[in-house]
Structure 1
Amino acid sequence: MTEEFLHYIWQHHLFNQTVYTPEGSEPIEIISPGIRNMDEGPDFYNTRIKIGNTLWVGNCEIHVVASDWYRHGHHTNPLFDNVILHVVYKNDQPAINSKGVVIPSIELPVDNGLYQQYEKYRSIQTDVRCKDFIARVDPVYIAALLSKGIAERLIDRAHAIHQILEANHYDWEHCAMIWLGKAFGFKVNEAPFEMLMRSIPLAVLQRSAYNLQTLEALLLGQAGLLHENFHEDYPQLLYREYVFLRKKYNLTPMEGHLWKKMRIRPANFPAVRIAQLAAFLHKNPAFFQKLLEIHTGDQIFSLFDVTASSYWDNHYQPDQPARLYPKKLSRSAVLLLAINTLVPLLFAYGHEKDRDDYKGQAIRILEDIGPEQNSIIDKWRNFGILARNASESQALLQIYNKHCLLQRCLQCEVFNQMMTKKLYAF
């Protein structure tokens, strides 16, 4: 028996009896198991029970054996003094809190057949254990799972954005610039792009944004991608301009070797993405304010309708000519930027300001644009779960990465439906 499985049984009220009569005490009736606590402290809060004729409301702690109460140090921890019920599989010892009060306890009856089915399920060696059964689950529960997944993903992003916001004195425009820059790294160069945007004061960025050449010089120079040995005129010009900007603003450039260039598509080369970022900031020097006014996917594609300056039409790297190909942000790139930058920023702003309208606006934008196409979304499609829009594809990514891979099946409503309605076939 595992404590995690006991949590599952308790949370979903999957036990046979509703009234317990512990030896030497009054009957205990379970009114509500309470709400699972994912933070420090007892396992469930707002548990409601009746002991005799008295209603008790408080916390509940669960263990496989009652003596775990002492092994976990709860008897000396004041956080556990408001526990009103100790739920155990085997009651081998009374639980006493730090005030010397004996905690009422019950042995939780477990359906052995259900536990055996869980053990079989847990033995499945694959990343998504429910892949052969999930298509049989009522679509209502799939929809609920997707709603939970997208909310969880956006809240995770909001927490990450909050850290940047806090480090930049709650300046939303600067925070947005850093978050945007990180997204332009398209995973492979996320870290150096974030370093780049953190290395330039917001005022310097915005002052330089009105001249595209100056902005390219600033960004490429700070990225450590300019030097004095270029042969072509334009990169020489950019280098000279950056030398001036570096002295004027007392800037310290990054090390150029931090950028990853091996085994990536030319369209993702750092210099190209930086040139595209420069074009975007030139068009939108205070883009966070524009972001708050966006409501549709079409507005996003219009916002990101940018092409790097003409020098990059036949270059992927400075001083290295290539075939003619204008460096316009592709529709797939804009989709990823919208999903990973604009929507999280908008949701985070609503989260920080306690504005449900902005949070709802963020989700509606995701619902208005198409889903991503990647190997994880392909997996779900093969399992019979189709993402109809970006909100659903983001939810499926969250579920896969934060639940399936971590084997958090017992916390999933789909798993609960499969087990209680016997949708499996091991």
Structure 2
Amino acid sequence: MDEALLRRLTPEVLGVLVRRGADFAAAEDAVQEALIEAVRGWPADPPRDPKGWLVTVAWRKFLDATRADTARRRREESVDEEPPPGPAPAVDDTLRLYFLCAHPSLTTSSAVALTLRAVGGLTTRQIARAYLVPEATMAQRISRAKRTVSRVRFDRPGDVATVLRVLYLVFNEGYSGDVDLAAEAIRLTRQLAGTVDHPEVSGLLALMLLHHARRAARTAPDGSLVILADQDRTRWDTTMIAEGVRILQAALARDRLGEYQAQAAVAALHADAPTAAETDWVQIVEWYDELARLTDSPVVRLNRAVAVGEADGPRAGLAALAELDSGLPRHAAVAAHLHERDGARETAIRLYTEAASLASNVAERDHLTRQAARLNATRPTRRRSGVPETDGGVRGDSGADGGRAHQ
């Protein structure tokens, strides 16, 4: 059984049913039943037209469910009878599904879960494991989301920015459970890029690729976090970096700058540096200035303070940091980094300890705890700090969303 084919066809088949008049929830249920039939029957008798087969079976499942539900009899009268067998239409409704799943009436968590189910083709169990919640909890979340979008009249263009935000959040979930959500987000963003011509779609894809290229170097053999400055750059995926840079350059050439392109530009500058010491921090500060202009985000300004500290010295970084709210995520970690570079050992120890207590994941907490212990055990030095450097915005590398750690 070709699982990748089924996952690719799922949103296309669902889109056909929705376009024919089925509400989203009923259509999604019918498609899932058709997929079950495919898993059972295709290994012994594969169809010549997989999509057409799925559309036909799913439509029959939908009609059966509609006819069996007396509360929907009136609606049944408005449903077209079953189309004659034949090749499925070549229309791709995937983009419509993206917009439905990222509808502003949904909560963020529901939008992400529904996107993974309807567009990504993942099972409820897989999504639940990825988010470390009980399957029943995730099933309820998805059911509520399906009911919500079933009431949506899709009679105007959707918001690409909302779709991109959902995909960005999927990517940030990383590698928990038995589903690699970072890889899944890249797959879905590639799919979106093939459906809609928008420079920010390309910018997000480039950003994901540039971050994902460093995955192998982000953790030590014992599972501990390896900050960007200390990563073994020979373990970075240079092919993926080259693709990300190429996609970014094409997007920037269109002169419609957006936040994902700007974040990707920061990540590209890190990827371009042969060593941490050769990082072009001046250009990175300039890109953070662009990001601050585009987003007016205090978290972007926090990341900019780190870059200023690297480009112009720790006291300049501390001056930039002093303008920001100390309650921002990672504020204490950035302050610890800058104070350590400025030689204020005791202050840095206190701030690393505080930052560890506020860390939102175990890996980052343990990392910051080790930095405090290191300073406690040694005399002041000018060595590299232990706070993750900023590199364009995905978790912990310091992003416009203030998330935690994708080093």
Please give the TM-score of this superposition, normalised by the length of structure 2: 0.25
Of the two, which has the highest radius of gyration? 1
Q: Scaled by the length of structure 1, what TM-score is found? A: 0.25
Structure 1 or 2: larger helix share? Answer: 2
Relative to total residues, which structure has the larger strand share, 1 or 2? 1
